Structure 1
């Protein structure tokens, strides 16, 4: 259950909200990405100042840049295969330079072209998140400079967030979000680096809600903090819901990853394995377990490991994972993190009431491809009324044919797929149709 779920409508008898289009969502979370800078090269020596025994990699041998040519290759391949997800842009990566100003070591033109590539190639299918400000040293938001202390309590990845108030965390998140807004990159969520927020979860969730709404006006903020590879549920958590019956509904959604980084590691030095995700016979590995439960299968990686110092080992593993998923399943749906967050918010917060002639919805949030199973046999075919009169839904042969504006027969009832509007709407039956 969510840490603080907040308000919930009463469940409706005889109606179940299914996954969108009766499919299992997929998504790909990319951490430690930004424009031009290879975070592994620059982060390792800063991490080593605090934990020298843990960070002994030869960072000088790692490339300082992950070039835009690779971003283009990766983005175009993902577009061809319908892959969607989340792509971090660390706004002040390892204190090298500012995403909205200058990136020392690269020209202004190179930085602007890199941002434009993200904006034009990645944005349509990827959410952009800040991964805090630097991913290394904590920044004083009043001065824009790192604090002088060189301890784990002044590293974003470790102790700084412990004991912080909602206001303090919201100030920090807002600073990061404004940097991306300055660069023309919209955000509906944030990603936490390392252990940031892990010991301040209620404050982190509320700070995300406040900061993303304040800076970008996002209707349903979300955040990526958790990753589980055990038996725990990886369904998104809709938290701090309130105002569901009014003009200003509020909630925040925790997006949960279901895999480790089994591609190329956070530093691009640890090759992974396709079989950890899905085996060659398409039956074993982590993804079939999650897909069988019907929960979103959200893969997690780090950008330096996908590039793998130019060898692209992580990218090759990902391409084979996608090939096996395409060979083994016909019921998957790639979605951005924000799309999954919206669907789960609508799924849990829409009030539904079933009656003898139809089903009524009161939705705090609009939601495309909202899919519900309705029990009971009724005469005629269903129609959908958004408030301006009922329009017939088109019948399709089965659940895998569902798209918005359609319905199909199911054991003991029907399944309908609609673009749910904000406010009141209803599915009703037209006798004799």
Structure 2
């Protein structure tokens, strides 16, 4: 069996993986989860590129929620099940992560264009419900915290639940944790094992509805620790079902896997595609991280450094390795480590990484995107039917996406402007002299290829060359 790194199993050794808590890493053959579904035929000579010909970047933040420092409250619950593994004095960890830090972080990221995913655990370690009360904080503090997430974070970050508590499993009929205190009743470990698609979807929907009650919208799911790693096909299908049912998400996505080394692809996986030429096309996208948590971890024990992501001179580290092969470079961290006991160590590491990326790559080489934006692009990239008929390229797109970029092999330069036709509307694409200058509504002609970038509409359209 091919061995693979699930999220958080970058920690070395089974003991370390268990002690990382929550992390529940189990090496599995994840390919078993990828049932691609339908794929359209593609003509030779036409290639769908990355958006604007740039490499997508994104930043995944796990273990975040409103007000609560999840590490402080989850460690004693993990220790109840694994008393020999969780020996740190969790009382020394901050009880909360203040909204003043959320504001500082969010404003800096917005200023520097950083985008990604920010979890909101709905019932963090059973402390309180984000749509009701959070004991230890006032009702106003909770409402203000949610408003900050909606106003500051949501424009640049997808919001995900990490199931319901990130610790004890909840009986969705009662809303209370199960009485059993063993790993089979912890979300991070064995609770999902043996669960059907409908059972997993019901559990996800419960979490999603809490976020909906709190005024947050979700197109995706993050799994806490080992949740779903023994029922990977069910996890994928349940994400599709739950996100469509609760939020009518057109293209649901989930984050379960990361590969922090090696040459295995970290490109998103478009799964269970169906009904591509119908009025109700479906698919779900598995987002894959490319780094370990090299920022500060989840438990406040080991500070990270920037070098594992990118070296000071920009030549080494995991990010250049992934970027240079043209795949989305999606970093992974845990919110308690970004704050790292109030010292902001992980936050400063992020700042250093972004500075090194800016020094290494021009602004036309990378594009920061939310996970939902990457998922939408990859769904269109893989599922749009393309036909070449003389001087026209016909496109049947089950999903729309901005900045759709295709390269057409041309033996001789095209004459005249390239035009996009959708329904009765005809749009002329502006020619640019350099391929690096591509943006939506433009084209670039070289001696070998014609590259066009445009907002792909849903349904039928065609390029007139």
Q: Which of the numbers 294, 313, 332 marks the counterpart of 2:345?
A: 313
Tell me if 1:324 matches 2:360. no
Preserved CA contact (<8 Å) 1:229 1:258: yes
Picking from 351, 357, 365, the partner of 2:385 is 351
2:157 to 113, 117, 126: 126
Structure-2-length-normalised TM-score: 0.91
Q: Is 2:269 the partner of 1:237? A: yes
How far does residue 38 in structure 1 lie from its aligned partner after superposition?
A: 0.1
* Partner residue in 2 for 1:400: 436
How far did 1:99 drift? 0.5
Deviations 1:305-331 (A, max 9, x none): 000111000000010000000110010
Matches of 1:20 and 1:322, distance apart in 2: 20
Aligned to 1:90: 121
Q: Does 1:195 align with 2:229?
A: no
Pairwise CA RMSD: 0.9
1:152 to 179, 183, 206: 183
Residue in 1 that maps onto 2:396: 362
Structure 2 partner of 1:248: 280
**Aligned match of 2:41:** 10
Written as runs of structure 1 = structure 2, the 5 A alignment for 1:144-293 is 144-230=175-261, 231-293=263-325
User: Secondary structure, in 3 states, of the residue corresponding to 1:163?
Assistant: coil
Q: Are 1:342 and 2:390 counterparts?
A: no
User: CA-to-partner distance for each residue in 1:367-418, whole Å, 9 max, x for gaps?
Assistant: 1100000111333221111121432110112222111100112341210001
Cα distance in structure 1, aligned partners of 2:447 and 2:348: 42
- Could you tell me which residue of structure 2 aligns to residue 427 of structure 1? 463
Superimposed CA distance per residue, residues 38-92 of structure 1 (whole angstroms, 9 cap, x where no aligned partner): 0000000000111111111110000100000000000000000000000000000
Tell me how far apart the structure 2 counterparts of residues 215 and 389 of structure 1 sit (CA, whole Å). 35
Rounded Cα–Cα distance in structure 2 between residues aligned with 1:53 and 1:396: 63
Is the CA contact (8 Å cut-off) linking 1:169 and 1:203 kept in structure 2?
yes
Report the counterpart of residue 416 of structure 1 in structure 2: 452
The 2-side partners of 1:393 and 1:327 are apart by 31
Per the alignment, residue 143 of structure 2 pairs with 112
1:53 matched to which residue of 2? 84
Stretches (4+) displaced over 6 A: none
CA contact (8 A) 1:257 1:297 kept: yes
The range that moved more, 292-301 or 385-394, is 385-394
Give per-residue Cα distances to partners, 1:297-353, cap 9 Å, x unaligned. 000000000001110000000100000001100100000000000000000000000
Report how many residues are paired: 429
> Offset at 1:13?
1.6
Give the Cα–Cα distance (whole angstroms) in 2 for the partners of residues 392 and 300 of structure 1.
40
Task: Give the secondary structure class of the aligned counterpart of 1:116.
Answer: helix
Preserved contact between residue 268 and residue 306 of structure 1 (Cα < 8 Å): no
Partners of 1:389 and 1:135 in 2: how far apart? Answer: 49
Contact kept? 1:91, 1:176, Cα under 8 Å: yes
Deviations 1:88-123 (A, max 9, x none): 000000000000000000000000000000000000
TM-score (norm 1): 0.98
Aligned partner of 2:21 in structure 1 is none
CA–CA distance in 1 between the matches of 2:189 and 2:323? 33
Decide whether aligned partners of structure 1 residues 411 and 99 sit closer, same or farther in structure 2, where only a CA change above 3 A counts: farther
CA distance in 2, matches of 1:332, 1:29: 17
* SS class of match (2:159): strand
Unaligned runs of 5+ in 1: none
Q: Which moved more, 1:363-372 or 1:266-275?
A: 266-275
Cα shift readout 1:271-310 (whole Å, capped 9, x = no counterpart): 1111100001100000000001100000000000000111
Q: List runs of 5+ in structure 2 lacking aligned partners.
A: 1-30
Contact 1:370 1:418 in 2 (8 A): yes
